[in-house]
Amino acid sequence: MKNISILIIITLLSIFLFETCGKETQKNHANTIESPKKTYLDSPKNTYDSRVEALNIANTIQNPDTYLNSRINARESAKKSVQGSTKRMEEQDKAIEALTK
């Protein structure tokens, strides 16, 4: 009698656990509804946008030699502009000294 009552209690508990776990999985499946995916329309604007994006990607991918050459050219032009501004400052200083004499 004692064994039968323990067996019945264990089966009732196991049924209860299976039922509660089953309901949670069903609720999770009901909440995971995905939104519909955006459809692609082949319009002139979309075609233009995709071409512009492709060109932007292509323009960012450069040959390392041309990239380094452009950086060297930029540094050289910066040096030249600094030298030019230094010459102008020296000329201004000379002009101010000539005026103050």
pLDDT at 90 over 90: yes
Alpha helix stretches (DSSP H) within the chain = 2-31, 44-60, 64-100
- What is the predicted pLDDT for the residue at 96? 92
For residues 8 and 55, give the distance between their C-alpha atoms in angstroms, rounded to a whole number. 73
Mind listing the pLDDT tens digit for each residue in 34-51? 666 666 666 676 677 777
Q: The pTM is what?
A: 0.35
Mind listing the pLDDT tens digit for each residue in 1-39? 778 888 888 998 888 877 777 655 555 555 566 666 666
pLDDT at 72 over 90: no
